[in-house]
Structure 1
Amino acid sequence: MPNSANTAPPPHLAEQAGPRPPAPWLRDALQRWQPWVIGATAALLILLVGIALHGLLREVRYAEIMHAVHGTPPLQVLLGLAFTAASYLALSGYDASALAYAQAKVARGMLLLTSFVAYALGNTIGLGTLTGGAVRMRLFAAAGVEPAKIAQVVAFNASAFLLGMSVFGALALLWGAPDVARLLHLPAGVLRGAAAALLAGVAALLWLCGRQRVLCIARRWTLRLPPLGLALRQLAISAVELGASALALWVLLPASDLPLPTFLAFYAIAISASLLSHVPGGIGVFEAVMLLASGPYLPTETMLGALLLYRALYYVLPLVLATALLAGFELRAGVGAQVGRAAARLGPRLLAALTLVAGLWLLVSGVTPFTEDSQLLLESLNVPLPLVETAHFLGSVAGLGLLLVARGLLHRLDAAWWAALALSVVAGLLALPKGIAWGEAALLCTLALLLVLSRRQFDRPSSLFAQRLEPGWLLAVGGVLAACVWILFFAYQEVAYSNRLWWQFELDAQAPRSLRALLGVALGALAIGLWQLMRPPAGAVAPPTREEIERAAAIVRASPSAAGCFALVGDKNLMFSPSGKSFIMYGKQGRSWVALFGPIGERREWADLVWRFIEHANAHGGRPAFYQVRPSMLPLFLDCGLQAFKLGEYAHVPLPEFNLKGAKRANLRSGVNRGEREGLVFEVVPAEGVPPLLAELRAVSDAWLRKQSAREKNFSVGRFDEAYLARLPVAVVRREGRIIAFANLLVTGQKEEASIDLMRYVPDAPPGTMDYLFAKTMLHLQAEGYQRFGLGMAPMAGMAERRQAPRWQRIGRLLFEHGERFYNFRGLHSFKDKFEPVWDARYLAAPGGLEPVLVLADVATLIGGGVKGVVSK
C-alpha cells in the first residue's frame, strides 16, 4: 500500500545494520566543533612548516631567489614543460587501467579529458581522491558508466598511485640509500632493508594477483584483485608518470653533485609527506622536504627558484589549460550532448580553483618588491607615484576579494561571477603600473576571459552578503594572511623596521608600500571575519503559513509530479525559489535537514534551490540530505558534493496499458468481481465535495488505526488532517450507502502522474475491498487520461546481489532477505509486484561516512513523529 501508515518505509532499520551512533549531545558537539578542530590542526601544521622553512631560509635573500628564477635557461623551462606533458599523459593511464579493472569503457577522448581535468584540479586543490573523484563521477557518468563502477575506478586510482609510489620510492631508496641515510641519521642498511621489505610486499601482492582474483580481509571484506597483466602494466605506467613528474623538477636545476637516484628518493618522500599533510597542493610541505634534502648539494635559493618554476609549470599551467578546455564547451551552441553538458558543469570548480590561485598571486605580489628592471621601466615611462601606490594597494585588496569570492564561484552564484570578473579585470589593468607584472596581468586576463566564456554556468541569483563563510574558510584566509606576513619580513629582512616606514612615499620605497598594502588586506579580512562570526544565523525554521501552503498548492497543480502533494499536509517546512515558482519541502530533526523528494516546480530553478537548501543547512551547522529522490535528479546532488545511497525501488503502473487481464492480476480481477457481488459501489469525490464527508471519513480512519494498533505518521506519509484531505479528491467505497473504505488521491493538473496517500477501511469490510478500491481507482484515472499510477516504494528492494557490490547495498540486501522479523519487506514488494509495475530506484542523497546512518535515524524520527513513534507503530 503506497505511503500508508502501515507501509511507510522504516529508515531506522538502516541504523541497526551499521555502527551504533554516538549519543545525541556528543553527536551535536562533534558536528559543531569538527570544522574548528580540522582547521586548527591544519593551522598548526602550516605553522610548523613555516617554522621549518624559516630555519632553512635564514641565510637566503629574496633577490637571490628571483635571480635564480629569472636565470633559468629557456631550454630548461621547455624541458620542464615537456616532462609535465608526459606526466599528465601517463596519468591518463591510471584511468585506462581503472576502467579495465571495473570492466567499463569510454571513448579515448573522454578518457583523456576526464583524466587531465581530474588531476589538474586534484593536484592544485589537494585531496585528489575526493576532488578528482567528483570529476570522474560527473564525466564518466555522462559517458554511460554506472556509479558503482566509477567508485571502483576512483578506488583503483588511489590504490594504484599508492602502490606505484611505494615501488618508485623503494627503488630510488635502494640506489640512493647512503645519501638519504646521512640526512635522516639512519644506517644505510636499515633504509635498504625497509625498501627491500616494501618491494617484497609488492611482489607478494603481484603473486596474489596471479594466483587468485578475490582477497578476503579479516573474514569481513573482500577485495577483487586485478589480473597480473593489468597490475604489471599499471606499475609501468606509475613508473613513467612519477619519473616524468620528478624530471620536470630535475631539469629546472643547474648542474650539481646531487645524484639522480638520491633526488628521486627525496622526491618520493616529499610527495608522500605532502599527501599525508592534506595541505592543498602540499604547498610548503613539499618545498620543506626538498630544501632539506638538497641542502648539501645545491644552494637553497637555487632549489627554491626551481621549486617556484615547478609549481607554475606542473600545477598552475595545467589548471589554466583544464579550465580553458572546459570553457571551450561553452562556445558550442547549446552544448546539447550529455557529455558536453557534464564537462561544462565542471567549469565552476576549476574557475574557483583558478580564482584562488590568482588571489594568492596578488597577495604575495603585494608583499614582495618588483624587480630593478621594472623600476627602471616605470621611471622611464614617468608613471605617477600616486598611481603606483594606488595600484599596489588595490591589487592586494583585490587578491583578498578573489579569495573570498572563490567560494561563491564554487556554488555558481551570479554575484560571485560578477565580483570575480570585476576584480580580475581591475587587478589585471593595475598589474602594469603596479610593477610591470606581465605574468600577473596575463593570468588575470586569462581568468577574466574564462569567466566570460563560462557565464552560463553561474546562474544562481544571489547576494554575496547573504553567504556565510564556514569556519574552515575563515581559518584558511587567516593562514594565508599569516603566510603573507612571513613573506613580507623575509623579502625585506634587510630593512630595519621603524614607524616612519608607514609614511615614506617614493618609487624605491617598496617595503613601506608592501606594509601599507598588507595592512589594508588585514583590516579588510578582520572586518569580514568579525561580520561573519558575529552576525545572527540566517532564517529560522518555522511551520508553513496558510499563504505558503496556497503558493505550494498552485505550484503542485502545474507540476507533472504528484509527489508535491505531500507539501499540502502542512507538517513540513517550505523553501521557495526567489521567483516563487519552485519549492523544497523539508523537515529538521536533530542536526539533519532532510528534503523530501527534491525540488518541485520549474526545472531550471532546481539546481539553485538545491544549493540554497544545502547552504541554509550548513549555515545552521546541520547535515543536508534529500530523501527518496529519483535517479534523474542525482546529478543535482552529486554536483553539490553529496553521495547517493539506494533506499529501494518505487513501483508505478503505466495506466494506458492497464487492464485486469493476465495471471498476475487474477487476484485483483477476483477482488473486483467479488466486490461487485458484495454490492460495493466505487466513487471519486472531487475536492469540493470532501468537506461534508469528513466526519464519516474520520470514523473509518479511527477504526482502522485502532484495528492496526497504529498511530498517525508524518513527513513522507500523510495523516488524517481535514484541511489536507479537503484539498484533493477522495476515492470512496460504499456498501449500502455507508463508506467502508477510502483513499485520498494525489493528482495534479498535468495528468501525468497520480498516486494514493492515506488508504483506510473499516474492520468489517468484505475481503478484497482494497483490491477493489485499487483496481477501480486505476481504471478511473486511466479514463481521466493519467499516464501512470504510483504504488509507492518497496524499501531495500532491488539491491545488488554481487559480492563486490557496495557495502550499503549488501546490507540492504540482507535486510530484504532476512529482515522479516522487523518489517515485511518481501510481502510489500510481492503485493505491489502483482500489479506488474515498472520498478524505479529511489535514493538518499547525503554526505558520506557515518552521516547516512544518522540521517536515516532522524528520518525515522520525523516519520514516527518522535522517538516514541520509531519504536512503536
Structure 2
Amino acid sequence: MDRPTAAAVEGRFARWRGRRTARVVTWAARVAGLLTILSLLTPLLRRRLQPATWFGLPPEAPLVGSVVVATLGVGLMMLATGLRRRKRRAWQLAVVACVLLVVSHVVGRHALVPTVVVLVLLVGLLLTRREFTALPDPVGPLAAVRVVVQMLLGGFAVVTLLLLVRPSLLEGRPSTGEILAQSALSLVGVSGPVQFRVTWFDDLTAVLGLTFGIAALVLGGYFLLRSAEPRRTLTDDDAERIRALLARHGRADSLGYFALRPDKAVVFSPSGKAAVPHRVVAGVALASGDPLGDVEAWPGAITEFLASCRRYGWVPAVLGCSEAGARVWAREGGLDALELGDEAVVDVATFSLQGRSMRTVRQAVSRVRRAGYDTTVRRLSDIPAEELEQLRELVARWRGGPAERGFSMALSRTADAAADPDAVLVVATAEGETRGLLQFVPWGSDGLSLDVMVRDPAVPDNGLNELLIADLLGACRGLEVDRVSLNFAVFRSALERGEKIGAGPVARLWARLLRTASRWWQIETLYRFNARFGPVWVPRFLVFDAVRDLPRIAVAAFEAEGYGGRPPALLRLLRR
C-alpha cells in the first residue's frame, strides 16, 4: 500500500479518537442502564422507594417512580446504539435521561452504585459533547412523535374497549372517568381505581396496556435514533454531471456507468472533477466501484463522502472497487480493504470459439443454433421504439414482478433508448418469438459491461446464454468494442485455491462452505460460467472502516443487491 498522506493520518487519528470515545460512552450507557434496571429487582431497594411518600405524594408514587426509573434504564440501553454512531440526538437524550435518573435516585434514596455510575456517565457525556456531531434523520422527530402517539392511543383504546364491553367482570359500577384512568395507567404498568372480580381479566388489561406502552417506547426510539436514509433519487442535474465525467473518464472503470441508477445519490469533490455515487441502506452508505472522474480529484470526493458519513452517522463501505481504488481509499480515507471477488473481462481481439478450451461453449452454441435460435446485436438507438416497448414488457413478465437483483453491476432499467442510447441489446429469437436477451452498458467508448441477463423461464434449451455472449463478442468489432466485462464472481480465488493440489485444510474448508452457499446464491455457478470464455480475472475489493461493521455492511449489501437483508414486510410496516 502507498504511504498515507498527513491529512489521511490526521483524519484516521481523529476517527480513532472519536470511535474510542463513542465506544467508552456506549458501554458506560449500557452498564448504567443495566444497573438501574437490576437495582429495582432487589427487595432492599423496593423498600427504599417507600420514602417517596414523605414528600406528600400519593401511595402509588413509589410504583410509578419505579416504572419511570425502569423506563429510563431501558432508554439508556437503547440510546447506546445511537451513541456508538455519535448521534447528536442520542447524546442529548442520554443527558436528559441521566439527569432524570440522578434526581430519581436522590429522591427515592436509591442504591449508591447505580447513582454513581449514572453520575459518571453524565459527566463523561458533558466532557465529550464535541465528539457527538452526527445529524439525525430529518423526518425522525415527526415520525417518532407520530408512532408514540399512535401506539399509546391504540393501547388506551383497546383497554378501554375491553373494560366497557365486559362490565360483569368488574366490581361495582365504575364511572367513565375511572375506566379512562385505569386505561391510561395501564400503559405504564400501574393499577388504577377499577377493581376486578376475576384476576385473569385484571392481568389481561395490564399486560395489553403495558405492551402498547413498551412498544411506543421501542418504536419511538427507533424512529428517533435511526440513521437517515435519504430519498433514493438521482436528480437530473447530478445525472448530467455524472455523464460528463463518464464521457471524459468512463474508460477507467467498468462499473462507472452503473452510477446512473436512479436510486443512487452522489457526492462530488469540491472541484467537481470526481464523484462518489452511493446508496444508504440500514445506516450504511454503500458506494460501488471506483470514484468517478479524474484520479487526481478522487481524494477530494472521498473526503466529502466520508464527511457526509460522519455528519449523519452512516457506516462507509465500498463494494467492488478496483485495486487502484482500494489503495486510494486506504491512503486518503484510512479504510481497510478485503478481496471480494473477481470481475471477468474478455479481450475481444483474442477471443475465439476454436480450440480445446472453448469446446464446452462451442458445443453449447452449436446445440442451440440447431434448435432454431437466432440472435441480433444492436445498440438501443438503432432499435424501433415499438420493439423496445415489447421487450420491456417481456422482461417484466419473465421476472414475474418488480423485484430485481443487482446494485453494483445493474442499471435497474432495460431497453430505455432515451436514457441509454449507446447500450447494446443482444436478443435471441426462435420461431419468431423472443426467448432471451442480454443488455450491456457502455464502458468508456470501446468497452461494454454486462447489465441484464434474462430469458423466458419456459425455454428448456441449455446454452442460450452462451450463444448470446458468443454472438455479442463476434459482433464487437463492428461495434468498435475491444473489451467486454461479464458477471462478477464472488470469492473466485478462494474457490480456485481450494481446488488446487496441496491446498491446506482452511482453504479446502472455505471452498466447501462457498459451494454449500451456492445452493442459495450463484457463487460457484457464476465462476464456472464466466471461466468458460477464458476471461482475464480482475480482482475487486470491499472497503470498510472497522471490522465490527462487517456484519452490518453484509446485511446492507444483501438488501441492496436483492438477496435479502431486512424483511420487506417489516420495512413497509415501519414506514407506515
**TM-score range with shorter-chain normalisation?**
0.5 to 0.7
Q: Please say if 1:613 is aligned against 2:308.
A: no
C-alpha contact (below 8 Å) 2:337/2:543 kept by paired residues = yes
Distance in 2 (CA, whole Å) between partners of 1:552 and 1:350 is 30
Among 798, 823, 836, the residue aligned to 2:521: 823
- Which residue does the alignment assign to 1:8? none
Code of the aligned partner of 2:244: A
Q: How many angstroms apart in 2 are the aligned matches of 1:848 and 1:587?
A: 19
In structure 1, what is the Cα distance between the partners aligned to 2:360 and 2:503? 38
Structure 2 counterpart SS, 1:650? strand
2:424 aligns to what? 729
Query: Does 1:701 find its partner at 2:395?
Result: yes
| Alignment partner, residue 230 of structure 2 | 541
Q: Residue 432 of structure 1 corresponds to which residue in structure 2?
A: none
Cα offsets for 1:612-641 (capped at 9, x unmatched): 111211111111010111122221122222
Distance 1:687 1:562, change over 3 A: farther
Letter in 2 for 1:662: G
**Equivalent position SS for 2:277:** strand
3-state secondary structure, aligned to 2:307: helix
Alpha carbons 1:703, 1:763 under 8 Å: kept: no
Contact 2:405 2:561 survives alignment (8 Å): yes
Deviations 1:648-689 (A, max 9, x none): 222111221011112231232233334444443322232324
Q: Distance in 1 between matches of 2:546 and 2:11?
A: 23
Is residue 584 from structure 1 mapped to residue 276 from structure 2 by the alignment?
yes
Task: State the match for 1:571 in structure 2.
Answer: 263
Query: How many aligned positions are there?
Result: 363
Shift of 1:350: 6.7
* 1:771 and 2:466 are equivalent in the alignment: yes
In 1, Cα distance between equivalents of 2:296 and 2:550 = 28
Gaps of 5+ in 1: 1-140, 142-341, 357-402, 408-468, 476-525
The alpha-carbon deviation at position 779 of structure 1 amounts to 1.5
SS at match of 1:712: coil
SS at match of 2:465: helix
> Which residue does 1:740 correspond to in 2?
435
How far, CA to CA, are the matches of 1:531 and 1:782 in structure 2? 57
Alpha-carbon distance, 1:596 to partner: 0.9
CA apart distance, 1:750: 2.6
How many Å apart are 1:592 and its aligned residue? Answer: 0.7
**SS at 2:451 equivalent:** strand
Alpha-carbon spacing, 1:710–1:719, altered in 2? closer, same or farther (3 Å)? same
Partner of 2:120: none
Structure 2 gap segments, 5+ residues each: 19-84, 92-125, 139-227, 571-576
Deviation at 1:768, TM superposition (A): 2.6
After superposition, what is the alpha-carbon deviation per residue over 1:198-245, rounded to whole angstroms, capped at 9, x for unaligned?
xxxxxxxxxxxxxxxxxxxxxxxxxxxxxxxxxxxxxxxxxxxxxxxx
Q: Identify the residue that residue 148 of structure 2 maps to in structure 1.
A: none
What is the aligned partner in structure 1 of residue 147 from structure 2?
Answer: none
Q: Structure 2 matches for 1:253-402, cutoff 5 A? A: 342-343=2-3, 345-348=4-7
The separation in 2 between residues aligned to 1:836 and 1:638, in whole angstroms, is 31
Contact 2:555 2:566 in 1 (8 A): no
Equivalent of residue 553 in structure 1, options 229, 243, 268: 243
Matched to 1:656, the amino acid is: A
Aligned to 1:505: none
Matched with 1:631 is 323
Deviation of 1:553 after TM superposition, in Å, equals: 2.6
Of all paired residues, the percent bearing the same amino acid is: 22
2:275 and 2:345 map into 1 onto residues whose CA distance is 24
Q: Does 1:861 find its partner at 2:545?
A: no
Q: Secondary structure at the match of 1:850?
A: helix
Give, in whole Å, the separation in 2 of the partners of 1:600 and 1:352.
22
Change (3 A) 1:592 1:536: closer
Alignment deviations for residues 268-305 of structure 1 (CA, whole Å, 9 cap, x no partner): xxxxxxxxxxxxxxxxxxxxxxxxxxxxxxxxxxxxxx
Give the TM-score normalised by structure 2. Answer: 0.55
| Aligned partners of 2:285 and 2:315 also within 8 Å | yes
Deviations 1:54-108 (A, max 9, x none): xxxxxxxxxxxxxxxxxxxxxxxxxxxxxxxxxxxxxxxxxxxxxxxxxxxxxxx
Letter in 2 for 1:867: R
Aligned to 1:681: 374
Q: Which residue of 2 aligns with 1:792?
A: 487
2:535 maps to what in 1? 837
Partners of 2:321 and 2:264 lie apart in 1 by 17
Q: Corresponding residue for 1:672? A: 365
Which residue is 1:445 aligned to? none
C-alpha separation in 1, matches of 2:134 and 2:565: 33
2:266 touches 2:277 (CA, 8 Å); kept in 1? Answer: yes
Higher strand share: 2
SS of match in other structure, 2:488: strand
What's the offset of the Cα at 1:705?
1.9
Distance 1:804 1:665 in 2: 27
Q: Distance in 1 between matches of 2:465 and 2:503?
A: 41
RMSD value over aligned CA atoms?
Answer: 4.1
**Preserved CA contact (<8 Å) 2:381 2:417:** no
Matches for 1:488-567 after TM superposition, within 5 Å:
541-542=230-231, 543-558=233-248, 559-560=250-251, 561-567=253-259
Normalized per residue, the structure richer in helix is 1
Q: What residue identity is the alignment partner of 2:450?
A: I
Matches within 5 A, 1:451-490: none
Distance 1:844 1:810 in 2: 23
Alignment of 1:211-222 (within 5 A): none
Which residue identity is paired with 1:730?
L
Provide Cα deviations, 1:414-456, integer angstroms capped at 9, x if missing partner: xxxxxxxxxxxxxxxxxxxxxxxxxxxxxxxxxxxxxxxxxxx
Structure 2 letter corresponding to 1:787:
D
Does the residue aligned with 1:798 lie in a helix, a strand or coil? helix
Change in 2 beyond 3 A, CA 1:725/1:827: farther
Contact 1:572 1:587 (8 Å CA) reproduced: yes
Q: Deviations along 1:764-789, whole A, 9 cap, x unmatched? A: 54443221111011121244343321
SS at match of 1:775: helix
1:602 aligns with 2:294: yes
| Counterparts in 2 of 1:784 and 1:648: CA distance versus 1, 3 Å | same
Given that 1:860 and 1:870 are in contact with CA atoms closer than 8 Å, whether structure 2 keeps it comes out as no
Counterpart position of 1:645: 338
- Quote how far apart the aligned CAs of 1:746 are: 1.4
Name the CA shift for 1:549/1:870 in 2 (closer, same or farther; >3 Å): farther
1:107-128 CA-to-partner distances (Å, cap 9, x unmatched) read: xxxxxxxxxxxxxxxxxxxxxx
- Read off the aligned partner of 2:526 and give its amino acid letter: L
From the superposition, tell whether residues 841 and 806 of structure 1 become closer, same or farther in structure 2 (CA, over 3 Å): farther
CA 1:537–1:672: 2 relative to 1, 3 Å: closer
